Structure formats: structure tokens, C-alpha cells
Amino acid sequence: MAFNASSNQPRPRRILVDDVDRSILYNGPWFTDHDSHNELGNFGPPLERTLHGVPPEASASFVFEYEGAGFDVWGTVRNNFDATWECIVDGENIGRSGFRVSEQSANRHKLCEWQSNSFGHHTLMVNATSGRDTFLFDFIRYVPSPSRPPPRATTLTEIPNEDPVISYDGHWMVIPGFAHLTRVAQSSATISFDGTSLEWYGYTPDEFPIAPSVAEFSVDGAPPITFILPGLERGRDPAQYNQLLFATGPLRQGPHTVVVTHHGSQAPLTLNYLIIKEEFVPPSFTTSSPATESAVPQENLSNPPSPGTIAGAVIGSICAVSLIVLAAFFYLRRRHKSELPMIQPLPGFVKPEASAPLDIDIVSSRLSDDMGPSSRPGSFPAIAAHARRRSTARRFNPEVRSTISSVNLNPPPVQHAPPSTTNTGDVDSIVEVPRPVASSSDVANSQLNPYESGYPYGAMQLADYQRLVEATKDQEARANARARDSYM
């Protein structure tokens, strides 16, 4: 089925692909033309006011793939146009359009057309060769597949005047397959659509009154905006087609309603087609508040996260929990170490300046009855009594905790003798109490045991006493080290 103005069948919606669209793959010495052909002919300016051209005496091509059915290709020609081209669809050459090249220069000239209702994946190739004149390509128009929307970020959709989204109210004339037209004041049309902008295209006929008229449009109930419908002198100028009468400007992506009202009785309000622009935004997973007209498009929340995203979130959560647990463990361990109690010295530890503990019975009456006064001159009674302790006395045990007061281990004090009547000197006579002396063999055999050496060291020299103190300290240090190791 052919989709053209002469057909009595309703026209379908079609997708417009401008020459600057990235989905078109160019090969060869193409160049881009901006705004230099806007006033050419009476079929309006190029779509989006851009063209792609092949320099004179050069050849080039482009390829376009799409999902849909039939299509047509449009460009700009000049009178006596000598450039050549061919269109190939899925490997089949369909030639060029059956329309004769205009004797006048014009935009929006149909270069080739493929009439098909076969929906599917298709590949279009256009080969062009410029002669004296430059081959100029404008846009592709095709019928999209109803089940697969276009993959482009921005899509231009052509909606014909017969589309159900347009509701006409009042007195409208219908030119089948071409346009709606009204000259009656307060006649209106209401359009409901989804997108980011709307453009209204009509034509200026040459058979109606000459003076311009006034119309207005309103978007989503906002205050109306006025626009002018240009008039055309009858018989003076040809009819003008593809005329942009108004555009809404940028809107947020989503549903909108536009109401258009005619207020004049001179130049008619006409509609050939609408162009709806849609912006497809990648889906996001955060909600947003209702946007205003100038806000970004509303985010799509329908797509679930990918498996890679889920796996990354799970691994990240596990790592975060592990770090928290390790940090808590080391913190508690450090705090536990800082709060360890101080280990007190075990009984038996002797400081150099302190008294040595005595591991003897608490009651002095338990001493043996056979201990008599010492016959050794200068000895102390307590020391002599302890030296004659019975053989069944316990050996030294540093773990024993029943100790009493200590005996001072400092050397015996110097005693002053009573004054002599025969001494006429100025200084009193001093008598030193002799210190008990033990032989070296006794010290060696004692093995520094306080009980076998006459504890408390009555028979020891000062050097032997210091050795015993150092041995006691070493034993105490080893015991403390074992206690700390068992605690940790």
C-alpha cells in the first residue's frame, strides 16, 4: 500500500529520521549544509533545516537499518537536476521515485519510496553520484514496528491529521489524506500526546481570503498563546506547504494536552500533520517529585537491577560488615590489655632495702624447748635460737603465704661501751660487737637456702646476702612471666 497524499486510506504514524541522526552511517565525502536552502521553493524548509550533500563529480553512500515496514527518502533538488541515485532495500534495487524531477528547485522532494506492509528488520542503502549539481539528502520516513519502539534517544513522530489523538470541535472541512481546514471562529482541536514538544504543520491555500487571521493554543491549561495565520493573495503566489504554524517549546517527558482555537474569519486554520518529539531517558532507581515544564524528564522505575549490580551490592555489604567486626575485635583486645590487673609479688620476694619474710610459726611458743641461749659470743638470741631449729623444720617455700613480721637484715649496730675510769682521753672507748662468721664451705653447702644457712642469714657475708636477693628476684620474675602467659 502506498502512503501518499492521493490515497483514500488513513495515513499511519511514521518516524522521521533527520540527516544528522547518528543511526545513519555515511560512507564517502559527505558534507553538512545548514540553513542555506530554507527559502528554496514552496514546500517549506528542510526538516530541522539541515541537509547532507555529495560534492560535484563525486560519489558517496549511506546505510540505515530499522524495524518497521515501508519507507520513503526525501531531499532537495534543483531545476534540470543532473545528480543520480539509487535505493537498495535488503539487497534489492528499487531504483528512484517515479515522480519526475521538478523544473523548479524545491525542498522535500521524494527521492525514492518502498511500499510494503512487511514488518521486520530492514536495511536501506542509498548510492548517490553528483554531476554538475550536488546531491542533497534531507530525511527518511518509515512506518515503525508496533511491538518495537525506535532505539534512538530522540524520536520524531509524524502524526497525520486523521489520527485519533486529535479531537476536532466545531466546523472543519476534511481533505481526505491531506488536511483539516476551518474558517469558523471558535472552532478548536484538542491533542493528547506523550512527549517533550509538539509542532503543528499546515499549509496556506491560494483559493481562500487573503487577509491573515489569529489563532491561539494552550498547553496543559496554561494561559493561551496567540499565533498568526498568514494570508495569501489569490493568483499572486502559489500555495505554501509544510508551514510550521506554532510549536509548544520544550516540555517535560510525559502526557500533555494542547488545545488550539481559531479566532478569525479570513485565512483558514489548517492541519496537515503534527511532529511529536520524544526523549527516551535511561531508567533510574530513584523516585523524583513531580516536575515542572522546564524540569528534566520523569525517571523510569520499571526495569529491575542487573545481576552484576546485585552481586556488587552483596559483596560490598559483606566487606563492610567484615571491616566493622575486625575493628571491634582489635579495639576490645587493646582495651582488655590496657585493663589487665597488676601482678603483685609472690611471697618470698625480697627488696634490697626491705626486710626478709620469716616462714615460721605464728606463735613463738611453738619453738623447740631444747633451744638454749647461744654460747657464741656476740650472737643475737633470736638468730641463735633459729639456728638450732629442729631437723624436722620445713624447707623454704616461696609459695607459703603465712608470714609474719620480718627481722631487720641490716648489719649489727655499733654499741658504745660504758665509760672507763682509767681512760683519760677525750673520746669514749668503742667496743664493736663481733659478727658471726661462717666459713666458705658452709656458704657453698647452704645453696642459699635460708633454713640451712641459719636464716635469717646470721652466718652470711654481705656478698652472699646479695646473691640470695638476686636469686630470689630471678625466681620471682620467672613466676610472674608464667602467670602473664597463662592469663593471655
How far apart (Å, rounded) are the C-alpha atoms in residues 346 and 479?
8
Domain ranges in the chain? 14-150, 159-277
Predicted local confidence at residue 465, as pLDDT: 66
Predicted local confidence at residue 345, as pLDDT: 53
pLDDT tens digits, 367-409: 444 444 444 444 444 444 444 444 444 444 444 444 444 444 4
pLDDT tens digits, 213-235: 999 999 999 999 999 998 886 66
Predicted local confidence at residue 339, as pLDDT: 57
Could you tell me which residues are beta bridge partners of residue 407? Answer: 356
Among the residue ranges 69-83, 153-167, 329-343, the one predicted with the least confidence is: 329-343
Among the residue ranges 92-96, 112-116, 310-314, the one predicted with the least confidence is: 310-314
Over 80: is that where the pLDDT of 246 sits? yes
Contact by Cβ (8 Å): 177, 224: no
Over 90: is that where the pLDDT of 159 sits? yes
Over 80: is that where the pLDDT of 353 sits? no
Check if CATH label 2.60.120.260 holds for domain 14-150: yes
3-class DSSP state for residue 486? helix
Percentage, residues of the chain above pLDDT 90: 43
Over 90: is that where the pLDDT of 22 sits? yes
Using H for helix, E for strand and C for coil, what is the string for 460-479?
Answer: CCHHHHHHHHHHHHHHHHHH
Residue 208: pLDDT band with limits 50, 70, 90: confident
Contact by Cβ (8 Å): 122, 66: yes
pLDDT tens digits, 133-143: 999 999 999 99
Q: What CATH number has the domain spanning 159-277?
A: 2.60.120.260
Predicted local confidence at residue 279, as pLDDT: 86
Predicted local confidence at residue 3, as pLDDT: 36
How far apart (Å, rounded) are the C-alpha atoms in residues 81 and 128?
13
Phi/psi at 96 (5° precision):
-130, 175
Q: Which stretches of 345-451 are assigned E, i.e. beta strand?
A: 356-358, 404-407, 415-416, 430-431
477 or 195: which carries more pLDDT confidence?
195
CB atoms within 10 A of CB 427: 6
C-alpha cell at 365: 611458743
Q: What share of the chain is helix, strand, coil (3-state, %, to 5)?
A: 15, 35, 50
Q: Which helix (H) or strand (E) holds 177?
A: none
Predicted local confidence at residue 461, as pLDDT: 58
Among the residue ranges 100-104, 347-351, 484-488, the one predicted with the least confidence is: 347-351
* Mean per-residue pLDDT of the chain: 75
59 or 105: which carries more pLDDT confidence?
59
How far apart (Å, rounded) are the C-alpha atoms in residues 145 and 278?
17
398 or 28: which carries more pLDDT confidence?
28
277 or 342: which carries more pLDDT confidence?
277
Cβ-based burial of 318 (10 A; exposed 0-12, middle 13-18, buried ≥19): exposed
Closest to 133 in 3D by CA, of 60, 79, 96: 79
Over 90: is that where the pLDDT of 189 sits? yes
pLDDT mean over 410-437: 46
CB atoms within 10 A of CB 174: 12
Predicted local confidence at residue 238, as pLDDT: 85
3-class DSSP state for residue 245? strand
